[in-house]
Amino acid sequence: MSEHAKMPADEETTDEETAADSEQAPVTTGAQSVVRALENAGAEYIFGVQGGAIMPVYDALYDSAELNHVTMAHEQGASHAADAYGIVSGSPGVCFATSGPGATNLVTGIADANMDSDPMIALTGQVPTEFVGNDAFQETDTVGITQPVTKESYFAASPNTVGDDVGEAFALADAGRQGPTLVDLPKDVTQGEADREPDAPKTPDTYEVQEEADDEDVQEAAEALAAADRPVILSGGGVIKADASSALREFAMEYEIPVITTMPGIGSFPEDHELSLEWAGMHGTGYANMAISNTDCLLAIGTRFDDRLTGGVDSFAPDAEVIHIDIDPAEISKNIYADYPLIGDARKVLRQLFDAMPSVPDVDEWREQCQTWKDEYPMTYDTPDDEPLKPQYVVETFSDATPDDTIVCTGVGQHQMWASQFWEYTEPRTWVSSHGLGTMGYGVPAAIGAKLAAPDQEVVCFDGDGSFLMTVQGLSVAVREQLDITYVVLNNEAVGMVRQWQDGFYEGRRMASEYPWIPQFDKLAEAFGARGFRLEAQENVEETIKAAREYDGPSVIDAHIDPGENVFPMVPSGGDNGKFALQEDHLEEL
């Protein structure tokens, strides 16, 4: 898979584009300026839902040959689809909603993108400026509501500048540490007359990004790493966002340092490589967590040290000097103190570090130790004949059947953990999930955005029964758009992760976590016009997966799994990564 092309940078406005501009009809309204700004920024798809206050923008969209609108079933789905489009393509996904409920419905997806630094721009209708503040019909303070969960929220002021706002919001979403932006569009601004083309998209003049780290700092970090006895690389989502996966692979393989990823970093390093320890954290592999706990030098790249990764900070990599590469200075020493902070773009700083390394660290013994942990804590599961279908088997069988560049989307819960643990990831931008916000319902619309961003790649979405029910209406979109997506519902008739915690930490008091009233998802799929399969027995897994994959269009496998199956290994919340439970009864000992 190639490194993804970025949107054209502001300074790269070519003569060709200027020529193309002159062929386009001149901008005469604010709404046309909005559409033109999106075209100029290189947007391809818009995920949205119509409504009163956004109608002028949709009307302008009617004339755009370059922008394709995907009508979603719910605004939350529009924001998740745009988010996933951003993850897979590397460029900001675009979503539209009207004012009031349309805008508030987007908020979950915007907050999700903010937590995971996914590039996205949301455009919301707003009541006309003269009504703002009067509690008008479908008025909400969208800028006020979204400010805490965006890089910036804009309130468009006039028809002649609204296109500049949209261009700036688009460029900002893509720049530096990526993330969501929003432009609120009062109806009088979009309907009003405009007489100028929007400026080429450019980031705000106050926005600064440091691309390369200071050479002396890099040298010091390189020397610490080369001198380490037990070094480990921790590769975060920032490695994928910076298209630094190749640089990471070159670095790790040249200097023979074991690699752990965070969950968002899945795919940044091939899990089938001998240096890979897969991912660390609450449900990470035992060997990754042992390596993190015992390393004396942690090279962390593009990670914000989330608590689901670190467990309790007092016991996180307690012997390690930390080298932290991040493009966002505010992430340095926020949660874990960085002995060697290297601010800059992950790809560029990795190249700097590569050149600065004085020698290959002498760590044969440490690599052997890591291998011993791999043998000691293997990721295995049992498939006894007398027990129901195991979710791990479904995931593993699917992984074996599909090409390396297959994109996996998920909802949030136990199924998400199994999909990350038992699928073998080797390529960046093939793991599309909701990490920081942990949004149940992410999967169905995310798969739609992912498929449109990568139409030539296979897309499978693992979901849970609880998660699937939250956004199942998105199936209507997948059917209408004829998207070849395979949804696999790992159905245990429960909000399984909550139930797992109730069993482990609340004395088995299963309050509001069991779903004995669950619908038949295969029939529900058929009602939507998708293909439905019911899967209950292990011997039918392969053939069902084959049939679902062969069906040209969206299909849903309702996989009835062992309701007794839980997610392990597990580091209890706030615990020590070096002390994980491999099965239920280990939890009590921790």
Residue from 59, 64, 207, 473 touching other proteins (CB under 8 A): that is 207
Please confirm, yes or no, whether 187 is among the known catalytic residues.
yes
Structure tokens at 135: 């509690």
Nearest CA to 85 among 455, 411, 405, 439? 455
Please confirm, yes or no, whether 482 is among the known catalytic residues.
no
Please confirm, yes or no, whether 138 is among the known catalytic residues.
yes
Residue 313 contacts other proteins per CB under 8 A: yes
Whether the Cβ atoms of residue 37 and residue 166 lie closer than 8 Å to each other: yes
Q: Give the CA distances from residue 265 to residues 116, 422, 433, in Å, rounded to whole numbers and listed in that order.
A: 11, 16, 11
Residue 204 contacts other proteins per CB under 8 A: yes
Q: How far is the CB of 3 from other proteins (least distance, A)?
A: 27
Q: How far is the CB of 228 from other proteins (least distance, A)?
A: 14
Using the rule CB under 8 A, give the single segment among 146-154, 187-195, 258-266, 498-506 that binds other proteins. Answer: 146-154
Query: Which CB sits closer to other proteins, 328 or 405?
Result: 328
Whether the Cβ atoms of residue 502 and residue 509 lie closer than 8 Å to each other: yes
Using the rule CB under 8 A, give the single segment among 10-18, 147-155, 436-444, 553-561 that binds other proteins. Answer: 147-155
Question: 158-187: which residues touch other proteins (CB under 8 A)?
Answer: 172
**Candidate list 138, 219, 371, 473, residue with the active-site label:** 138
Q: How far is the CB of 313 from other proteins (least distance, A)?
A: 5
Residue from 50, 68, 158, 369 touching other proteins (CB under 8 A): that is 369
Sheet containing 276-279, strands listed edge to edge, beginning at the edge strand earlier in sequence: 276-279, 259-261, 231-235, 297-301, 321-326, 340-343
Q: How far is the CB of 43 from other proteins (least distance, A)?
A: 21
CA dihedral sign, ordered 517, 518, 519, 520: negative
Structure tokens at 539: 């011997």
Structure tokens at 209: 């990004």
Nearest CA to 419 among 378, 462, 388, 467? 462
Q: Which amino acid is at 90?
A: G
Whether the Cβ atoms of residue 193 and residue 165 lie closer than 8 Å to each other: no
Please confirm, yes or no, whether 47 is among the known catalytic residues.
no
Q: How far is the CB of 23 from other proteins (least distance, A)?
A: 34
Q: How far is the CB of 159 from other proteins (least distance, A)?
A: 18
> From its phi and psi, is residue 160 left (phi > 0), alpha (psi between -120 and 50) or beta?
alpha
Residue from 143, 218, 266, 475 touching other proteins (CB under 8 A): that is 143
**Candidate list 151, 187, 241, 390, residue with the active-site label:** 187
Q: How far is the CB of 232 from other proteins (least distance, A)?
A: 13
With 0-12 CB in 10 A as exposed, 13-18 as middle and 19+ as buried, what is 505? Answer: exposed
Query: Which CB sits closer to other proteins, 333 or 473?
Result: 333
Residue 148 contacts other proteins per CB under 8 A: yes
Give the number of residues in contact with other proteins, rule: CB under 8 A: 39
Q: 460 pairs with which residues across the strands?
A: 408, 486
Residue recorded with tokens 């909005």: 34
Query: Which CB sits closer to other proteins, 204 or 553?
Result: 204
Separation of alpha carbons 493 and 560, rounded Å: 8
Please confirm, yes or no, whether 579 is among the known catalytic residues.
no
3-state SS track over 266-303: CCCCCCCCCCEEEECCCCCCHHHHHHHHHCCEEEEECC
Separation of alpha carbons 279 and 309, rounded Å: 9
**Candidate list 357, 417, 470, 497, residue with the active-site label:** 497
Q: How far is the CB of 535 from other proteins (least distance, A)?
A: 42
Separation of alpha carbons 8 and 13, rounded Å: 8
Query: Which CB sits closer to other proteins, 132 or 401?
Result: 132
Nearest CA to 302 among 267, 340, 342? 342
Query: Which CB sits closer to other proteins, 31 or 317?
Result: 317
Residue 119, preceding bond cis, omega within 30 degrees?
A: no
| CB contact set of 443 (below 8 Å; sequence gap of 6+) | 409, 410, 411, 461, 462, 463, 467, 468, 471, 487
Using the rule CB under 8 A, give the single segment among 149-157, 245-253, 423-431, 448-456 that binds other proteins. Answer: 149-157
Residue 206 contacts other proteins per CB under 8 A: yes
Question: 314-343: which residues touch other proteins (CB under 8 A)?
Answer: 314-322, 328-330, 332-337, 339
**Candidate list 7, 39, 72, 75, residue with the active-site label:** 75
Using the rule CB under 8 A, give the single segment among 19-27, 151-159, 461-469, 490-498 that binds other proteins. Answer: 151-159
Residue 71 contacts other proteins per CB under 8 A: no
Using the rule CB under 8 A, give the single segment among 66-74, 288-296, 350-358, 498-506 that binds other proteins. Answer: 288-296
Report the catalytic residues.
75, 137-138, 187, 497
Question: Which residues here bind other proteins, judged by CB under 8 A?
Answer: 143-144, 147-148, 151-152, 155, 172, 204-207, 290, 293-294, 305, 310, 313-322, 328-330, 332-337, 339, 369, 578
